Amino acid sequence: MQMPKPDEATIARRSDLVAAFRDFLPASHVVVDEATLKAFESDGLTAYRQPPMIAVLPETTEEVSRILTLCRDWGVKVVPRGSGTSLSGGALPLADGVLLGLGKFNRVLEIDYDNRTATVQPGVTNLAITHAVEAEGFYYAPDPSSQIACSIGGNVAENSGGVHCLKYGLTTNNILGIEMVTIDGEILRIGGKHLDAEGYDLLGIMTGSEGLLGVVTEVTVRILRKPETVRALLVGFPTVEQGGDCVGRIIGAGIIPAGMEMMDKPAIHAAEAFCHAGYPLDVESILIIELDGPEAEVDHLTEIVSGICNDCGAVSVRVSETEAERMNFWAGRKAAFPAVGRISPDYYCMDGTIPRRQLPLVLKRMSEMSAKYGLGVANVFHAGDGNLHPLILYDANAPGELERAEEFGSDILRLCVEVGGVLTGEHGVGVEKRDLMPEMFTEVDLNQQQRLKCAFDPDGLLNPGKVFPTLHRCAELGRMHIHRGQMPFPDLPRF
């Protein structure tokens, strides 16, 4: 993976830049010592490491504005960072760049139960929002598996999902407003407590923009009332196909469960060995189906869903009787990554999405690839919305295995696109999938996306090297070839 070549002239001006930052930031908020900078050298994608030139840790929106203005004036690149849990290298620093850490933006600013909103600073963790409102019976719906650590600002940057997206949507469907700072230091407020922001949907564009368009300094999310009853079913199937078929039949029956997760045999065995959740070991796949709502509804749907599972050939159907049992069903799924980490020295987590019905084909092709590359693979799958997380097992100390794992991963993502899916469902493009973007998009598609980038950041200073495989200058992208006097399709009907 090639990152943009560090600019030696910028690195040479490092001490001047530090002095300029310290004009308005406390010295301790401008990090320059190597040991501390090393703490920022990677995010959740640990295969890539690069300490930043400088890290700045502002506390106020005005400070963020001054930092960005300074960076623009000096032509210095900026990498924003929340908690640094990105799985795609979205917060990977640059050797000639400033790392803008938002960890000090950690306050819940306002909770408005009547309007059902919470306004928080971007460094507040995803789970802390739920903690702040749960005493009143509310919660924040998107729940990425890193929710104990990941920040809401990072969730906005990545449009994070979780296991309940099928019914409750992703980050983009659950935020109402943001305050953001542009690279020009301009402070913009988009949306608020009302449901639709005016004008072009900048809130929608900022969500999932991976830190390339601006720095979010405040987020207003919508909070929901906790459902009265939540119940999970743990269902075992003799084949993967039957499990996949069952998912389609449940949705076909007009039921949208709160969550519908699938694990294949290697993942089941790894999880069971790790946390003894009581998963059946004599099956090829399990489904965890969560139903929530009023008790009368959950009772009613439990019966229907159990019936569908039996019709699909389930060999075991267990319904959680208590909250402890429900949590136990989830324990194995939620611990799947560390569990796989115990059976293999390293693993590489992929994140493609496919149309659900392609699952059997994709799993079959994946096992063929597994044989070809000589590397094992365990699958956990947000089955309801088609989001696959194959975990490729490898040993980084064995020569060539990391490269083979990456090639295997790329082949899986190409396959996802081939069957009508996409490269990334919730982890983001970052540096990881950057060079695969042409698998899904033409050059025209990618150039149009970059023109949007140009509207926000014409000099390309925000998080360069992420998302786009080729960086064009905005002036070049703005050019238009006009064929004067040419009549299009003379035979076209005109009125």
Partner 1 sequence: MNGQDFTPTSEEHLAEVVAHAVAAGQPLELIGRGSKRGFGRSMQTAGQLDLSGFSGIRMYEPDELVMSAGPATPLAEIETALAAENQELAFEPPHMGHLQASAVTDGSIGGVFACNLAGPRRFRAGSARDHLLGFRAVSGRGEIFKSGGRVVKNVTGYDLCKLMCGSFGTLAAMTEVTFKVLPRAEKVWTVLAFGLSAEQAVRAMAEAAGSPHDVSGLCHLPHDAAARSSVDFVSGAGASVTAIRVEGPGPSVTHRVAALKAMLGSAAGIEELHTHRSVAFWREVRDISPLLDGATVTGDPLWRLSVAPMDGARTMTGVLDSLPGRGLMDWAGGQLWLALEPGAEDGGVAAVRNAMDGGHATLIRGAADLRARIPVFQPQPAPLAALTRRIKNGFDPRGVMNPGRMVEGV
Is residue 301 part of the contact set for partner 1 (CB under 8 A)? yes
A 10 A CB-CB count for 256 gives: 13
A 10 A CB-CB count for 401 gives: 20
109 backbone dihedrals φ, ψ, rounded to 5°: -90, -40
Is residue 361 part of the contact set for partner 1 (CB under 8 A)? no
From 34-42, 146-154, 320-328, 383-391, give the range in contact with partner 1 by CB under 8 A. Answer: 383-391
Q: Which is nearer to partner 1, 116 or 269 (CB)?
A: 116
The rounded Cα 121 to chain-centroid distance in angstroms is 19
From 38-46, 115-123, 307-315, 330-338, give the range in contact with partner 1 by CB under 8 A. Answer: 115-123
CB of 16 to partner 1, least distance (A): 29
Q: Tokens 């088609």 map to which residue?
A: 386
CB of 31 to partner 1, least distance (A): 30
Q: Which is nearer to partner 1, 32 or 454 (CB)?
A: 454
Q: Which is nearer to partner 1, 70 or 247 (CB)?
A: 247
CB of 159 to partner 1, least distance (A): 5
The rounded Cα 299 to chain-centroid distance in angstroms is 33
Is residue 382 part of the contact set for partner 1 (CB under 8 A)? yes
Is residue 215 part of the contact set for partner 1 (CB under 8 A)? no
Residue type, 376: G
Quick one: which of 137, 307, 338, 374 contacts partner 1 (CB under 8 A)? 137
Sheet with 30-31, strands from edge to edge, namely 30-31, 54-56, 97-101, 77-81
Which 152-171 residues touch partner 1, going by CB under 8 A?
158-159, 161, 165-166, 169-170
Is residue 134 part of the contact set for partner 1 (CB under 8 A)? no
Is residue 209 part of the contact set for partner 1 (CB under 8 A)? yes
From 1-9, 124-132, 202-210, 305-313, give the range in contact with partner 1 by CB under 8 A. Answer: 202-210
Classify 144 as helix, strand or coil.
coil
Angstrom distance (rounded) from CA 78 to CA 67: 9
Token representation of residue 117: 């909103």
Is residue 255 part of the contact set for partner 1 (CB under 8 A)? yes
Classify 221 as helix, strand or coil.
strand
Q: Pairing relation of β-strands 54-56 and 97-101? A: parallel
User: 282 Cβ partners below 8 Å, 6+ apart?
Assistant: 236, 315
User: 218 Cβ partners below 8 Å, 6+ apart?
Assistant: 61, 109, 119, 120, 121, 122, 177, 178, 179
DSSP labels for 156-212? HHHT---TTHHHH--GGGTEEEEEEE-TT--EEEEE-SSSS-SSS-HHHHHTT-TTS
User: 55 Cβ partners below 8 Å, 6+ apart?
Assistant: 30, 31, 36, 37, 40, 93, 98, 99, 100, 101
CB of 425 to partner 1, least distance (A): 4
Residue type, 413: L
Instruction: Let me know: does 307 contact 235? Beta carbons within 8 Å.
Output: no
Residue type, 399: P
CB of 92 to partner 1, least distance (A): 17
Q: Which is nearer to partner 1, 322 or 442 (CB)?
A: 442
Is residue 353 part of the contact set for partner 1 (CB under 8 A)? yes
From 68-76, 198-206, 325-333, 360-368, give the range in contact with partner 1 by CB under 8 A. Answer: 198-206
Q: Tokens 């208590």 map to which residue?
A: 322
Token representation of residue 167: 């019914």
Site string for partner 1, 456-475 (x = CB under 8 A): x----------x--------
From 13-21, 69-77, 248-256, 313-321, give the range in contact with partner 1 by CB under 8 A. Answer: 248-256
Is residue 316 part of the contact set for partner 1 (CB under 8 A)? no
Is residue 12 part of the contact set for partner 1 (CB under 8 A)? no
Q: Which is nearer to partner 1, 109 or 396 (CB)?
A: 109
End-to-end CA distance of the chain: 54
Residue type, 89: G
Angstrom distance (rounded) from CA 25 to CA 222: 33
Is residue 207 part of the contact set for partner 1 (CB under 8 A)? yes
Is residue 32 part of the contact set for partner 1 (CB under 8 A)? no
Q: Which is nearer to partner 1, 295 or 323 (CB)?
A: 295
Is residue 75 part of the contact set for partner 1 (CB under 8 A)? no
Is residue 5 part of the contact set for partner 1 (CB under 8 A)? no
Quick one: which of 4, 103, 192, 280 contacts partner 1 (CB under 8 A)? 192
> In 75-151, which residue ranges form alpha helices assigned H by DSSP?
126-133
Site string for partner 1, 93-112 (x = CB under 8 A): -------------------x
Which 396-455 residues touch partner 1, going by CB under 8 A?
420-429, 433, 437, 440-442, 444-446, 448-449, 451-455
CB of 161 to partner 1, least distance (A): 6
Quick one: which of 13, 29, 193, 414 contacts partner 1 (CB under 8 A)? 193
Sign of CA dihedral 273, 279, 284, 285: negative
Q: Which is nearer to partner 1, 54 or 87 (CB)?
A: 87
Is residue 251 part of the contact set for partner 1 (CB under 8 A)? yes
CB of 168 to partner 1, least distance (A): 10
Token representation of residue 281: 């070991």
Q: With CB under 8 A, what is the number of residues at the site for partner 1?
A: 108
Angstrom distance (rounded) from CA 466 to CA 457: 14
